[in-house]
Amino acid sequence: MIEFITVTKQFHTGQVALSDLSFVVEPGEFVFLVGESGAGKTTIMRLLTKEMSPTTGDIRFFDKNLAEMSKSAVPHHRREVAVIFQDYKLLLDRTVAENISLPLEIAGKEKEEIESRVKDLLVLVGLSDKEHHFPVQLSGGEAQRVSIARALALGPKVIFADEPTGNLDSESAHMIARLFAKINDLGTTVFMATHNLDLVKLLKKREIHLEKGKMVKDTKHHQKEQKKKGDEKEENDG
């Protein structure tokens, strides 16, 4: 579904944000991108959304090479790769329901479809009773759940959550992490960039660890090795 092939990103300042990064993500996976600030997590998001292009290497999304994507195709691509930010980015003069409905309105959906979709998403994120509230009336965890619902409005194939729990207390952070796991269980591929190792331990999903733009660990390879050893042991036992 997503493939980074020896991707390097160097800025005009000379800073190397990513160096020879390669990985593959299959449809329906949940992947933690783990690393401190400056490790390259946000750069991966910006490359995946076509906000920037790699200096060298290729990025493929399904059967498309992003380098060959026309400018006119980028808006549609960004509907398929939705981003959730640490600071929510809600419109303060719109209610919860109005914030969630915004992408649907921009996409020209009918009023009845918008209302139905918003109600379904409010149920999914557990905020049906906050439909008419404004962002200033919400807790941080509730505001993030609204931003998640808005990101899901157009049914993206991928959710990229960039430090989504960075402004939240531990209890709210765990709730948000479990919500992402639920969304993943429903079929959406999830990237979650974080340096919160408690959340990583909580969900026990695939981890790609980054340090200064380089991959230092991908637990998918470890899991494959463990499975291979387990299969071999079963054969020997049999």
Q: For residue range 42-77, what is the model confidence (pLDDT) as tens digits?
A: 999 999 999 999 999 999 999 899 999 999 999 999
User: Residue 196 carries which DSSP code?
Assistant: -
What pTM does this model have?
A: 0.87
User: Is pLDDT of 226 > 60?
Assistant: no
pLDDT given for residue 233 in this prediction: 52
- Alpha-carbon gap, residue 185 to 29, rounded angstroms: 9
User: pLDDT tens digits for 74-107?
Assistant: 999 999 999 999 999 999 999 999 999 999 999 9
* 173 contacts 199 by C-beta, under 8 angstroms: yes
- Alpha-carbon gap, residue 222 to 176, rounded angstroms: 27
User: Is pLDDT of 235 > 80?
Assistant: no
Using a pLDDT cut of 90, give the percent of the chain over it.
Answer: 87
Confidence tier at 222 by pLDDT (50, 70, 90): low
Q: What is the mean pLDDT of the chain?
A: 92
pLDDT given for residue 177 in this prediction: 94
pLDDT given for residue 38 in this prediction: 87
The amino acid that residue 152 corresponds to is L
For residue 102, give Cα distances in angstroms to 96, 198, 224: 10, 33, 42
Confidence tier at 236 by pLDDT (50, 70, 90): low
pLDDT given for residue 63 in this prediction: 84
* 182 contacts 188 by C-beta, under 8 angstroms: no
For residue 68, give Cα distances in angstroms to 18, 74, 107, 136: 21, 11, 24, 42
* 77 contacts 69 by C-beta, under 8 angstroms: yes
pLDDT given for residue 60 in this prediction: 96
Using alpha carbons only, what angle is made at residue 85 by residues 84 and 89, rounded to the nearest 5 degrees? Answer: 100
What is the secondary structure of 41-90 as a DSSP string?
Answer: HHHHHHHHTTSS--SEEEEEETTEEGGG--GGGHHHHHHHEEEE-TT---
Task: List the domains of the chain with CATH numbers.
Answer: 2-222 (3.40.50.300)
pLDDT given for residue 220 in this prediction: 85
β-partners of residue 189 are 158
Region 208-213: mean pLDDT is: 95
pLDDT given for residue 37 in this prediction: 86
User: pLDDT tens digits for 100-157?
Assistant: 999 999 999 999 999 999 999 999 999 999 999 999 999 999 999 999 999 999 999 9
Confidence tier at 238 by pLDDT (50, 70, 90): low
* 21 contacts 40 by C-beta, under 8 angstroms: yes
